[in-house]
Structure formats: C-alpha cells, structure tokens
Amino acid sequence: MISFEKKRGQNGFTLVELLIVVIILAILAAIIVPQFTAATDDASQSAYDTNVANIRSAIDLYRQQHQEYPGAVISGGGTCGSGAAVTGAVGAAAFVAQLKNYTNAAGQACTGTDATFRYGPYLKDDLPVNPLATTTPNNTVVVVSTGVLGLTSGGTGGWRFDSVTGEFIGDH
C-alpha cells in the first residue's frame, strides 16, 4: 500500500536561531544608539552657538548706535510714538527692554517708534533659551557690571551678561 502522507517538517525556529537574531539586533542597537545621542548633543551645541551669535550681534549693534552696552538703567523721559515707554528698568529688565524695543539715543526704550525712538529693536522675539543648560533651560539673563564675568556661573540655566565688557555667555 502506498502512503500519501507528507513527512512532518519543522514548523518554527529553534531557540538557538532566535538567540542569534536577538544578539545581532542587540549589537546593531549598541552601534546605532550612541550615534543618535551624539547627534542630539551636536544639535544642542549648534543651537547654543547660533543663539549666542545672534544675541552678541544684537548687543554689538546696540553698542554701535548708543556707544554703550545695553543693561544700563532706563530712566523716563521723551515721547514715544504710539507705544508705551519702559521706565525704571535696571539690569536684566533693562537689557531685555533695550534689545526688544525701540530706543532713543539715550538708551530709553519704548514699544513704539517715532523720530526720537528710531533705533532697534535688535531682537525680534524674546531671548532664546540656553539649550546647554544642565538645570531647566530658560531665557533669563543675569546682568553684572563688574567688568569680570569669568567662567563662574549662577547656574540659572539661562544667560549671563557683563554690561561693562559686553561679554555674553551661557549660564550652565
């Protein structure tokens, strides 16, 4: 009698075959994952470099037009077109106000413009965040007027600026 039954073959993978596949995937992951981490670090460094260059350019332009660095006390005075005058700002508030708003020759800031308030604004938006901050990244700025900013930092996660030397660095 002739039998037409098929021989039973292997229906699945062996444990050894599965282990080999898992080991190969683990090796590939060990090679690829550090490259993604390095790319993220490179992107953060690039964003930091761009932010610092943009802010330093704004600071330099302000200095060219006003013969001093931003961050000086903003006193009242003058008419200011259709905007509101910024008065009484000191340090960081003055720094941001003078870079974000229109200014007159004396460095007074205003949200509007007219024939007197014809300089600026030097930054289109708020200060960018510091992407390299080890604490929570933010856009706060600490303004000092010591003439020696140095490498010491307050660790705010934002920025540091010396209104005497014009030095601008990340606070991380």
82 domain residue, yes or no: yes
Q: Confidence band (pLDDT; 50, 70, 90) for 59?
A: very high
Percent of all residues in the chain with a pLDDT value above 90, rounded to a whole number: 31
Establish if 9 belongs to a structural domain: no
pTM: predicted TM-score of the whole model, two decimal places: 0.73
pLDDT at residue 3 is higher than 60: no
Per residue in 89-134, pLDDT (tens digit) is 778 888 999 999 999 988 888 888 888 889 989 998 888 988 888 7
- Return the minimum-mean-pLDDT range out of 37-41, 85-89, 151-155, 167-171: 151-155
- Residue 27 domain-assigned? no
Contacts of 131 (CB under 8 A, 6+ apart): 44, 47, 48, 51, 137
Residue 126 placed within a domain: yes
**Which residue range forms the structural domain that includes residue 97?**
42-170
User: What is the spatial distance between Cα 103 and Cα 34, in angstroms, rounded to a whole number?
Assistant: 48
Domain assignment of residue 25, yes or no: no
22 in a structural domain:
no
Distance of alpha carbon 166 from alpha carbon 63, whole angstroms: 9
70 belongs to a structural domain: yes
pLDDT of residue 170: 86
pLDDT score for 80: 79
**pLDDT per residue as tens digits for the range 133-158:** 877 778 888 888 776 666 555 667 78
Residue 3 domain flag: no
Q: How many CB atoms within 10 Å of residue 130?
A: 28
Specify the number of domains making up the chain: 1
pLDDT at 144: 80
Q: Name the residue among 31, 124, 43, 113 with its Cα closest to residue 80.
A: 113
